[in-house]
Each structure stands twice: as structure tokens, then as C-alpha cells.
Amino acid sequence: MRRSRRSTRIATAGLLLGIAILFAFPLYYLVVTSLKTKAELFAAVPSLVPQALNLAPYSSVLFGRGFTGLLVNSVIVGLSATVLAVLVAFAICYPITRLPASRRLRGFVLNWAMSLRFLPPIAVVIPYFAIIRTIGLYNELPALILVYTIFNLPLAIWMLRGFLDEIPLELEQAALVDGASRWQAFRSVLLPLSRTAILAVVIIVFAFDWAEFLFAFILTATPQAQTFPVGVQGLVTQFEIIWNDMAAGGVIAIIIPLTLMLIARRHVMTGLTFGVIREK
Amino acid sequence: MTVGARVAMRTGWSRRTRQERLVYKLLLPVFGTVFVLATIPFVMAVIEALTAGSRGFVGFDNFATALSNPLLFESIKQTALYAAIALPVEILGGLGVALLVHRVVRSAALRAAIYVLAMIPIVIPQIAVGVVFRLVYQPDYGILNVLLGRTGADQLLWLSSPPLAMIATASVDIWQWTPFVYLVLFAGLQTVPSESVEAAQVDGASSWMQFRHIELPYLRPLLLLVLFFRLADVVRVFDHVYVLTGGGPGTTTQYLSLYIYRIGFQFSDLSQASALAVVVMAAMTIFYTIISRFLPADRG
């Protein structure tokens, strides 16, 4: 009895390990490919282990193909849209979590935000494309900043609302009783207490902005305003596919959100499930 | 009744306390602006869908054109097939792994390592996921065909033969989202009170009974949440398919988002695409209204 239980445990552990390897392998192969030289690419049988630490594909993507400009665009759009979304989300969440807002109003705001999350980007981008061309913002970064801000608001609102709900109201009320103004209570009590929460929301919203493709693909046309994922897509769908450059582009696209998510790992699930799952 | 109280009774606005008025004063400017900015596209799409360039107002012509295109129904069918392949595997696979890890893996460090590993596919850009799987499925260079070649089997055209292309694109979805299902359900399993589990074990409940009668009730709302999110996401599927197959071969992987993209930006028929956008936005809003009451999040 005891022995058979032990062997089942070993079998399940083996199964889990197998699944993990299967899941990790494609990513491993991406990294290996990104380090290959031209000669290795044309080997009859692609190697599964890196032969040398060849960084040429990275410099080719960043400098040879001028993707540094796209990286800069991604960072500008990501940072601006993130700051805007978090400021707006805070302005919306403050009254519905810290002040006596009616249940109906609160429910309306939160439901409206969540319903935005259910609209497919392609349906939304068609009318935005027309609007943005009309107002002359086509192929301009501000257009992307505007659209990213609006469509990451649901995430920012739901995450912030969850965090703010966990900060006891009594703390600000005590300050108010002591004669502080609402602004002072906000500045000196709520803001310091929600610093971690704001940081988590900033990181996760930025990672989502960074990964966005469809809006950028449709609302831009030249490297002047294109973002990094649009450039990576171009590497793939070109006639002549240069595998190592393409893989290097993929690695660069992955590294930034991955690093951010590792930093904010305790809050990723909260973000992805709109606050339904709370990590402790 | 004092004069002040009588005055306060007069209108709804002044009947509210100062604090309640502050709610509206703070909320309205920001929320109003955002609400308008997010609603404009819907209004513009309706206007665009009811007009046709120089011909001006054309009534429901664009809707008629859009909804009578057999390719639309083809794309809906393909999207449904994609979902029928991907979602059961994601949900059952995620559930299975969550139960396995919950029962077998005891070490906190190992659990944390699995958490991080499972998070990776979810947080990386969809475009990069497309790149990753191009390297797996590409006929001449892809690692899958290389491995098949080594075993002596025939190489397969993963991305350019109809049934395989659909399976290949769906497999990417499975790779990316099974970990999400796992993470949500694993978190749910941690909320099951250990007393009930211990009591059941003392009573000699089998592993299956423990799942069926104790754990499943805790997981049910999360399973619904995952199902709704994944269903909504299938309609959004675009990036990785665009990179892998571009919707081909033929229309095999031309799922709904790719179809609308094609109408709007490859055939440049923005009127018809707007009609489609209106129908899809309306359908998703109705879908959301129906499911929102089942979502486990507290609504107010």
C-alpha cells in the first residue's frame, strides 16, 4: 500500500516535469535560435544547444534594422499611456471607494469598465481608425497613447479598486476628525498607503501596453510611430525570413514584460482576473 | 421642521449630503470624459455603417451586405471550431494540473517556481508567441519537422494544410492559456478549508469524491470566470494567427477578428467593416450583460 502510493507520487511528479519541459521548450528554442550565426542557420539539422554566444542577431535587429527607434516609441507610448490610465483610474476609484457613493453608481462604473474588456480590439479600432485619420493623428504617437489609455482603464480601475478597498476607511476618517481637510487626508494618509498598489498597477498596465499589437498595427504606417511588436511582425512576414533576427526580436519583445511581471509577480493574477483572485 | 431642512428637501441634489455631492463632483468630469471617448467609436461605427462614402445614407445596406457574406459564416464556424479544440483542453488540462500540483507538490519553493513558470506564457506579447511557434511549426526549419525527420517520419505542412493549420493555431492558444486556467484554479484550491478535506479523508473519501464534493463547489465560480474570459478572448484572437498563417490556407484560420480585418483593411471596405464592428460590439455587450450576473466578483 505504502509503496504503491509512493510510486504514484513519483509517476505524477514525472508527469508534471514532462509537462513543464514541454511548455518551456519552445521558449528555450527561441533563445537558442536568437544566438545562431548565419552559418548555423543553414546547417542541415538545426542544433538544439547554442554553439556560441553570438550576439550579432541582436545588434542586427536593434541597429542594422533600426529597431531602436521602435523600442523608443514603445517606451514613450507605454509610459505615457500607463501614467494617464493610472491617474484616470485613481480619479475614478477614489470617489467610489473612499466616499459614500451609492451602490448603484459604484456598480455602474465597475460594470462599464469590465464590459469594455469584452469588446474585441478589431471592432473598436475600425471606428477609431476613421476618427484618428479625420483629426490628423494617423501615424502619430498621441493616437496610440489615447487608445491605449482608454482600453487599459478597465484593468487599472479594477485592480486599483481592489487595492483601495483593502485600506481601512477609518485611517482617513481619523485624520479628518483631527481637523485635516479631505485633500490633506488624501495626501498624507491614503497616498502613502497605496504606493505599493499604484506601483503594481503601473507595472502591469505598462506590460500590457508594451505587448499591444493590433491598435499599433492599424493606426501607424512608418517607423516614425510604429511600436516594437509591429516591427517584430514585419520580421516574420517578410519574404526572406532570417530566423535568428526574428528570434532575437522575439526575445527582446519578451524580456521587458517578463522582467516587469517577475518584479510584480504577486499582483499578476489580481490583474489578469480583475481582482477576483487576490494574492496574499 | 427648520427652514434649512425644508430647503434641503426641495431637490434631489441638495438632499444629498456634502460628501455624496463630492462623489459626483469628483467622478463626473473624469468618468464623463472617458465614457464619451470610449463610446464615440460605437456611435461613429453606427454612423459609418449607415452611410457609404459619396452615396450618403444607405440605411441598412451595409448590414445586409455584411450579414449575407458567406465568408462571415465560414469565419464564425472556424472560430467556433478553434474554441471547441482549445477551450476544453485548456480548462480540463488546467484543472488537472492544478489538482495534481495541489495534491502532490508540497514544497513551497517548488510551488513558487511553478507559479512563475506558468506566468511566462501569459505575460509575453502575443506577437512574440507567434514568433516562438513559427520556429516550432515552420515546414523547413521548424523544430517539430526536424524531430519528425530524425524519427524517420514524414514531415508535415503544419501551417499550410487545412486541418493542421487550425490545430497548430489552436495549440498555441492552449500553450498560452492553459497556465492561466491552472493559476486561477490552483489559487481557488488554496481557499478550500483544510478541515473539510481532512474530515473527508478520515471518512475514507476517495480522491475523486474529495474533488467532486468538497473542492469542485469552491472552484465552480472560478471555472465560470475562466470560461467567460476565454470565450470573450476567442473573438479577439488575432496576433499569433496573423504571424503564423495570416488566416490561411484559404480561409481555414480566418477567425472572426482576422475576417473583419480583411474586410476593413485589405478590401478597404470600411462601411461593411463598420457594420460588422457594430454587430460584434452589440453581441459582446449582450454577452457581457448576460454573464455579468454570474461573475464571482462583488458587483457593488
Cα–Cα distance measured from residue B131 to residue B239, given in angstroms and rounded to the nearest whole number:
10
The shortest CB-CB distance from A243 to any of B20, B135, B146 is to B135
- At A275, is the secondary structure helix, strand, or coil? coil
Among residues 201-240 of chain A, which lie with CB inside 8 Å of chain B?
Answer: 207, 210-211, 213-214, 218, 229, 232-233, 235-237
Is the distance from CB of B243 to CB of A237 less than 8 angstroms?
A: yes
**Amino acid identity at B298:** D
A280 touches chain B (CB under 8 A): no
Asked whether residue A240 carries a pLDDT value surpassing 70, the answer given is no
**Contact criterion met (CB < 8 Å) for A274 and B297:** yes
Write the ipTM.
0.90
Cα–Cα distance measured from residue A50 to residue A34, given in angstroms and rounded to the nearest whole number:
9
Cα–Cα distance measured from residue A46 to residue A32, given in angstroms and rounded to the nearest whole number:
10
Extract the C-alpha cell encoding B129.
Answer: 508567441
At A71, the pLDDT band (50, 70, 90 cuts) reads very high
**Contact criterion met (CB < 8 Å) for B260 and A122:** yes
DSSP code string of A51-120: SS---HHHHIIIIIS-HHHHHHHHHHHHHHHHHHHHHHHHHHHHHHHHS---HHHHHHHHHHHHHHHTS-
Is the distance from CB of A170 to CB of A251 less than 8 angstroms?
A: no
Cα–Cα distance measured from residue A31 to residue A49, given in angstroms and rounded to the nearest whole number:
10
Q: Please count the other Cβ atoms lying within 10 Å of the Cβ belonging to residue B192.
A: 17
Helix B216-236 with B270-292: angle, nearest 10 deg: 170
Among residues 70-89 of chain A, which lie with CB inside 8 Å of chain B?
Answer: 88
Q: Specify the CATH class of B70-292 in words.
A: mainly alpha
Q: How far is A64 from chain B (nearest CA, A)?
A: 20
Is the distance from CB of A228 to CB of A72 less than 8 angstroms?
A: no
Cα–Cα distance measured from residue B182 to residue B105, given in angstroms and rounded to the nearest whole number:
14
Among residues 29-48 of chain B, which lie with CB inside 8 Å of chain A?
Answer: 30-31, 34-35, 37-38, 40-42, 44-45, 48
Q: How far is B213 from chain A (nearest CA, A)?
A: 22
Residues of chain B with C-beta less than 8 angstroms from the C-beta of A247? 131, 135
Is the distance from CB of A142 to CB of A261 less than 8 angstroms?
A: no
pLDDT in tens, chain B (300 residues): 444 444 444 455 566 788 888 889 899 999 999 999 999 889 999 999 998 877 788 889 999 999 999 999 999 999 999 999 999 999 999 999 999 999 888 899 999 999 989 989 988 999 999 999 998 998 877 888 888 888 888 888 899 898 999 999 999 999 999 999 999 999 999 989 988 888 888 888 888 889 999 999 989 989 998 999 999 999 999 999 999 999 989 999 999 999 999 999 999 999 999 999 999 999 999 999 999 888 755 544
Among residues 145-204 of chain A, which lie with CB inside 8 Å of chain B?
Answer: 146, 150, 153, 158, 182
- Its pTM stands at 0.91
Which residue shows C-alpha cell 476593413? B264
Q: How far is B1 from chain A (nearest CA, A)?
A: 26
Cα–Cα distance measured from residue A215 to residue A230, given in angstroms and rounded to the nearest whole number:
10
Q: Please count the other Cβ atoms lying within 10 Å of the Cβ belonging to residue A176.
A: 13
Is the distance from CB of B202 to CB of B54 less than 8 angstroms?
A: no
More confident call, A86 vs B198: A86
**Contact criterion met (CB < 8 Å) for A261 and B123:** yes
Cα–Cα distance measured from residue B129 to residue A251, given in angstroms and rounded to the nearest whole number:
10
**Amino acid identity at A176:** L
**Contact criterion met (CB < 8 Å) for B183 and A269:** yes
